[in-house]
Amino acid sequence: MTDIEKTQQGIIYEKLMDEIDTGVHAVDSTGKTIIYNVKMSEIENMNAQEVLNKHISEVFKFNEGQESTLENALSKGIESRNVKQTYLNNKGIEITTINNTFPVKQNGTIVGALEVTKDITKLERMVQENMKRGHRKYSFDSIIGRSSEIKEVIDQAKRATRTSSSILIIGETGTGKEIFAQSIHNGSSRSSGPFISQNCAALPDSLIEGILFGTKKGAFTGSEDRPGLFEQAEGGTLLLDEINSLSPNLQSKLLRAIQEKTIRRVGDTKERETDIRLIATMNEDPIDAVTEGRLRKDLYYRLSVVSLFIPPLRDRKDDMKELVDFFMNSYNELFQLNVKEISDGVQRFFQEYHWPGNVREVEHVIEGAMNLITDEEKIEEKHLPRHLRKRLVVEENNNPQKNSKDLMEIHIENCSLKEYLFDKEKAYVKKVLEQNDYHIKKTADTLGLSRQSLQYRLKKLGIKKIRV
């Protein structure tokens, strides 16, 4: 091979090392790094200059009782495959990888070692977060609010703890559907069993079926014998969030599992009995979802043995102060601050604002405001997120004589289309109810809705029924 050919081969080799989506780390016979590619640098969060020509022990630290697979390959000739390893880089950052490690021999003598690495640091962190989340227990005492609207739902949910019937929880994003689900589980006879939750919209159909029902080894390439969430939730509760995002085919299989109380793993022929309580949630009108084909009618009837409608925050503004105080105290403790109150202007705005993100948005607004506080003891308008500051209604010269027409114009100018349409829908439904003497069936006919759809909209709009 000529020098030119060797140079070209070296360039190709370097390009290959830098482009492959796998970490590569090689050491010579003394344990000093001689190859450290771009992907390995990304995985371990270090520059190549920090590692090259340095001994492994100079750069990495391992927990007591754990040895470097690369050092074992070099010193003991041990070859290892798919070994999970957790260690610290030179900045003290924890790294978790899956390694294939090999000694490199020449004429029977070890002259170096090579490690090929897959990064699972993010996956490991996600698993740890899920475990923390799974260990976090909510009860009915965790639900903040004393308004009649939220107390009514809490009472209904408490009654549902006595049985193992399926439950459908309906509410907008951020209203606390999972807290209600966990509270029901922890208040029931199944509280000693597992509570397993899964967002059905977070994964594609190709994965969600195996996650729900499990897989049999050999069913498809790479599949293993693995229990699904139904089996993992045995004796406890399974929460399926955004149930309406499942495909009709999967909804059919889910219905069968609920009715027959058996499941069949993907690729298997064996039926397995299950003993779970199923709680499903959705953030839209179930009647609309059924009508528009996003939810099977038979599955809806099966799930909604017990239906809980969580009111949006705009319909329980009496709870605002308690919510603000709770989140303020939580972030005082977390951020080591001493915020005691919110200003009168912020308080008025919080009462008038529509809160499309509900309780979750309140938490995020308080957290964001307290990130901007140093030694103040009060949350002011200036601490609010920019998009909320723009919505604040500034009363010119603090004129108390501002008439209602002006206020309505300011309100319209400062509200979103969603909020404007909500207010108009509420006003119109109220008007039709009054015209029909609050008769539900007559009102539904006038509006062109089914009775069930009107019942849902009344809950959603916060309109109290006087007669049925």
414: confidence class by pLDDT, cuts 50, 70, 90: low
Report the amino acid identity of residue 379.
I
Place of tokens 């900045």: 91
Averaged pLDDT for residues 153-158: 94
Confidence of residue 7 (pLDDT cuts 50, 70, 90): confident
Task: State the distance between the two ends of the chain, measured CA to CA, in whole angstroms.
Answer: 93
* Mean pLDDT (the chain, rounded): 85
Residue length of the chain: 468
Q: Distance (Å, rounded) from C-alpha 281 to C-alpha 198?
A: 11
What is residue 398's predicted lDDT score, i.e. its pLDDT? 41
Question: Which of the listed ranges 220-234, 238-252, 397-411 does the model predict with the highest average pLDDT?
Answer: 238-252
The whole-angstrom separation of Cα 250 and Cα 212 is 10
Query: For residue 59, how many other CB atoms are within 10 A of its CB?
Result: 18
Strand pairing class (167-170; 195-199): unpaired
Rounded-to-5 percentages of helix, strand, coil across the chain: 50, 20, 35
Asked whether the beta carbons of 254 and 294 are under 8 A apart, the reply is: no
Place of tokens 């029977």: 108
pLDDT more than 70, % of the chain: 89
Whether the per-residue pLDDT at 335 is higher than 60: the answer is yes
Name, in order, each residue with C-beta under 8 angstroms of 255's C-beta and a sequence gap of 6 or more: 296, 298, 299, 302
Find the mean pLDDT for residues 403-418.
52
Q: In the prediction, which pLDDT does 122 show?
A: 53
Task: For residue range 176-208, list pLDDT tens digits in order.
Answer: 999 999 999 999 999 989 999 999 887 777 788
Instruction: Quote the crossing angle between the two packed helices 358-371 and 320-335, to the nearest 10°.
Output: 40
What pLDDT score does 401 carry?
45
Reference 178, options 124, 136, 125; nearest CA is 136
Residue 407 reports pLDDT greater than 50: no
Condensed to tens digits (0 to 9), the pLDDT of residues 354-404 reads 898 999 999 999 999 999 887 789 999 999 988 888 776 543 334 444 444
Judged against a pLDDT cut of 80, whether residue 416 lies above it is answered with no
Query: Higher confidence at residue 408 or residue 256?
Result: 256
Helices (H), 161-247: 177-186, 205-213, 229-232
- DSSP calls for 33-46: EEEE-HHHHHHHT-
Averaged over 119-139, what is the pLDDT? 57
**Over 80: is that where the pLDDT of 120 sits?**
no
Find how far residue 23's CA is from the centre of its chain.
30
Instruction: Please determine, for residue 174, whether its predicted confidence score (pLDDT) is greater than 70.
Output: yes
pLDDT for the residue numbered 465: 60
**34 confidence band (pLDDT: 50, 70, 90):** very high
pTM: predicted TM-score of the whole model, two decimal places: 0.60
At 127 the pLDDT is: 46
Give the pairing type, strands 94-106 and 109-119: antiparallel
Q: Quote the pLDDT of residue 444.
A: 84
Position 3 confidence tier, pLDDT thresholds 50, 70, 90: confident
Q: Which tokens belong to 206?
A: 């190709």
What is the predicted pLDDT for the residue at 197? 93
Whether residue 128 has pLDDT greater than 60 = no
